[in-house]
Chains A and B, each alone.
Chain A
Amino acid sequence: MLVDQYNPFEGKMLQILDPDGNVIEEKLLPEIPEDELVRLFKIMLFTRVVDRKALMYQRQGRMLTYAPNEGQEACQIGSAYALEQRDWMAPAFRELGAWLTRGVDLKTLYLYWYGNEMGSKVSEDIRILPVSIPISSQLLHAVGLGYAAKVRGLDEVSIAYFGDGGTSEGDFHEAMNLAGVYKTPTIFLCQNNQWSISVPKHFQTASETFAQKAYAYGFKGIKVDGNDIFAMYAATKEAVDRARAGEGPTLIEAYTYRLGAHTTSDDPTRYRDDAEVEAWREKDPVKRFRIYLEKRGLWNQEMEKAFVAEKEEEVEKVFSDIEQNGGTVFDDIFMYQYAEMTPILREQYAEWKAFFQERGML
């Protein structure tokens, strides 16, 4: 098992595809059909297009605060690809690749960053919880989702996404502890992107790795090259399979890097060296996956050019549609506080509505 082979206490990190696109662990390479490989790469490219466009819209004053994703595509897409449709995902807020892999439509995603709750209403067949801003609080939800699946005898696992800084929160410990105690089918996916806004890893923990923390709660953890889509898929797939088999939770530390800012309001040049960023650019997950596919003859420059152009146009269309129709419907802000509006809400709804109606704002 990978979790045993790559024991974090032995300083090991799972890597299958190196930064230059070479497969260094042939026997660990997951068996993925060629068309699926291309599909995964397209998702990766699409993720990057969507991300860069969002950043651009924000700088144009068309989009509100946005959390750039660049650099973390492989750990998100590789892990999400290991899940089944029926499995549950509890995200933090920088999981663009996972969302797109699991089929969330772009309009919904953009609506969220555009500032409309409708962006959290994923369709019924997609099991992703809304963005959870309070750090690590969603880990407990994943444990609860897993516990319910277990009690109800459902073949479902849950995965929680969070960052390196998230491991410092109490809820991280409570969630890990509870998952350990109840052996819930839960995968804790820590995207260690090296920085919690401006605070580096050594101010978050004195542990050598984040992965090793799992052992304190009575289950296993593994450190994985988060920019290697194959390693991420393999490790997650193994954790998912073990969870389905009743072997309980796993902590995966995806060792990666946020190439951009924390959010559009952040300026990372204030706290980190350009040299560090450049070094990580060399380990870019898209680059190495592209080289691998090109080597296998599954991808080339023309394909990429055409694909990106097509997607840019698509994104542009979706976003201009949102700009046209993405405003919040007044009724919605009252409608979903409770299943049924309480008497006082009904009264306030009428009062506020009349106010805005009188001014022609509705």
Chain B
Amino acid sequence: MIREFKFPDIGEGVHEGILLKWHVKVGDRVKAGDPLAEVETDKVNAELPSPYSGKVSELLAAVGGTIHVGQVIIRIEDQSGKVSQEAASEPTVQVVEEENAGVVGALEASSEVIPSSAEGRKNSFTEKEIPQKVLATPVARKMAYDLGLDIRTIKGTGPGGRIMKEDIRRAGESNEKKPAAVAVQETPGTGILPSGSGKIERVPLSMMRKTIAKKMAQSKYTAPHATAMDEADVTELVQFRNKIKERFFADYGVSITFMPFIMKAVCLALKENEKLNSSYDEENQELLLKRFYHLGIAVDTEEGLMVPVIQDVDKKSIFELAKELEDLSGRARMKKLKIEELKGSTFSITNYGAVGSTFGVPVINYPEAAIIGIGKIEKKPVVREDKLVLRYMLPLSLSFDHRIVDGGDAGRFINTLKKYLSDPYKLTLL
């Protein structure tokens, strides 16, 4: 029989994707589990494995085109000739409780009593006030969606308060203009394009860029950010790492960076400062303290920031973390991550030290409570026992959701973190 494969909902909030590539063509034989296609969704390039074995009879989506969840993208002819499990199950007719009258066919008969009619007794909803809905044409709604605007926040100027395309265009422009306005001053003329400023190229955003934009805005507009900064003395850690680095690579083929140590330290610090490993449940006005430690590690890729997640950091050795990190960041750069590998972090680390920065104001990976930014390790003169000495210093910037975390909490967390980062033996033993 012909089996249809519908583009599945492969993760949270995935409704559509772009078909990047077909791995099969009509007439090919595939086994269940063989890759059928490659799809770009919000965050990943996912490979879609075949749920069926058989011959490909039809490809129903074009490379480069958008496919929607639930849409049939391929038909595979199953050679078994058998009817599928689902198809074979017939509607079962219940035990006949009464005379099953009818010359043809079988009626379901049951004594189940359904609720009495509320006709004439209930409050008809027609008496209720109809809540005010947004009035807009589909084209306007689509436009707002594409621009990442919440149409409910846009004021309509059309007849009856209808939101016109122009309203959305304006809202989109003022959104873009906000940051620019600070730096450039008000430029005369309207729109995001400075008048007479020469040729401008319009570049459509990738799906991933759109998602990042949406997520960042959501975080910033939801959680009031505050940032605490400090430096950790990592001299001993640097020496420790230098000692083991080459041996590790020679023995295991894994290059040990500072990140696994930092992760370990963060994890230990989180255990002692549990508020930093939480989320705010606004609806119920509750704090969700998480008793597991999944760390999101921001990775800079060509297309933008990705945050793969390493699970249960507290249960893993430095070596294991190093190995996993290498694998994940490598695949992140190749856009080969699975959607599960991007989900479920409880706290995130962003390493802008890798591109030479020292301090930053990181944006929380919402709905987490905080994110720590790691700057570039540098030898700096510091005072120790009244003497100026050179030490390796690691700049730390902790952004936290001020609704649930206060400056005191943040300070204590940073202190704990510093304690562990300065003592590699504790880090490796604990």
Q: Consider the complex of A and B and state whether they touch directly, i.e. have CB atoms less than 8 Å apart.
A: no
Q: Which A residues fall within an 8 A CB radius of B?
A: none
